[in-house]
Amino acid sequence: MTSTEQMRDAWASTLREQWRAETVDSVWLRPGDWYHPAVDALAEALSAGANACAAAGRLGEVRGAAGVGIAETLDDVGVLFRLIGRDPGLDVVRALCEGWAGAIESAPVQAACMDPESGLPTAEYLGVRLGETYGAAGKHAHYAFHTHCLVLVDVASQDLAPWRRMARSAAMGRALTSAMAPGHPMAALGGGAFAVLVARDWDLGEAVRRMRLRVNEQAAKLQITDLLRQPPRIWIEPLPETHARAVELLNQLRR
């Protein structure tokens, strides 16, 4: 091995360890499952100045097979590229997303209550949470359509390639979960549409403002502003009188 190759390998090893430390500290949810040889391949490709698309695609495949969400996968690779002082570029993001999607599509079983692209619950799960809301309101002699409403978010602007759609969904998942308290009832409705169950109280207007702000922030962070409707459509949808009709409404809103 030449001295140049030794220096390149040493830099790749150092880069990998810096990447591990930074991503575990900031974006990675389960530190024990971060390492895989695929991370070495990506670090080595960048250290050698080589095209990183193949390595990124392999890492995306590994992450998808391990059940890691697309948002966490994108954030992790974003940490690596920030360390080297450059953007990943659309080719690398595309390869990463396509690798992840391939693994998800080939998985024998997928969670029925979660949308893998956004990391948000499905409409079916939100329907269950709506049932709880209607039940709690009835127990206290209230009406759910007086106490709660849906905030609908529509960012669709065009038909997108699958990897672009995944990047958009990941940004929306991050945006809505950061705008609301942990565990807040919400769902991905497909096709760039999302629903959030919100109390009709003094904070409703502020909640809508936070959602709009976070959507724009996450789009800028992932450099996908051009993939979103500008400005995003965010509006308050009253709940119907009954839970059954609320579920019908969700089904009508799905895409």
Domain end marker among 75, 106, 137: 106
Query: Rounded to 5 degrees, what are φ and ψ at 238?
Result: -60, 145
Residue 212, both tokens: 């709009």
Asked whether residue 174 falls in the same domain as residue 95, the answer is no
Does residue 160 belong to any structural domain of this protein? yes
Whether 156 has a pLDDT exceeding 70, the answer reads yes
Asked whether residue 101 falls in the same domain as residue 187, the answer is no
pLDDT tens-digit series, residues 227-250: 888 888 999 999 999 999 999 999
Tell me which of 32-36, 59-63, 152-156, 205-209 is least confident.
32-36
Asked whether residue 151 falls in the same domain as residue 247, the answer is yes
First and final C-alpha spacing in the chain = 56
Whether 20 has a pLDDT exceeding 90, the answer reads yes
Does residue 39 belong to any structural domain of this protein? yes
Asked whether residue 128 falls in the same domain as residue 248, the answer is yes
pTM for the whole structure: 0.71
State mean pLDDT over 90-98: 91
Asked whether residue 99 falls in the same domain as residue 48, the answer is yes
Does residue 112 belong to any structural domain of this protein? no
Does residue 165 belong to any structural domain of this protein? yes
Please report the DSSP string for the chain in residue order: --HHHHHHHHHHHHHHHHHHHHHHHHT-S-GGG---HHHHHHHHHHHTT---HHHHHHHHHHHHHTT--HHHHHHHHHHHHHHTTS---HHHHHHHHHHHHHHHHH-S---TTB-TTT-PBPHHHHHHHHHHHHHHHHHTT--HHHHEEEEEEE---S---HHHHHHHHHHHHHHHHHHS-TT--EEEEETTEEEEEEESSTTHHHHHHHHHHHHHHHHHHTT-GGGS-SSPEEEEEE--SSHHHHHHHHHHH--
Domain end marker among 106, 133, 157: 106
Asked whether residue 149 falls in the same domain as residue 243, the answer is yes
Whether 90 has a pLDDT exceeding 80, the answer reads yes
Query: Rounded to 5 degrees, what are φ and ψ at 54?
Result: -65, -45
**What number of other Cβ atoms are within 10 A of residue 3's Cβ?**
7
For the domain that residue 134 is a member of, what is the CATH number?
Answer: 3.30.70.270
Residue 53, both tokens: 């698309």
Q: Domain range for residue 188?
A: 123-253
Domain end marker among 71, 106, 141: 106
Q: How many domains does the chain have?
A: 2
Average pLDDT of the chain, as a whole number: 88
Does residue 118 belong to any structural domain of this protein? no
Asked whether residue 142 falls in the same domain as residue 200, the answer is yes
Asked whether residue 81 falls in the same domain as residue 35, the answer is yes
Residue type for position 161: A
Confidence band of 181 (pLDDT split at 50, 70, 90): confident
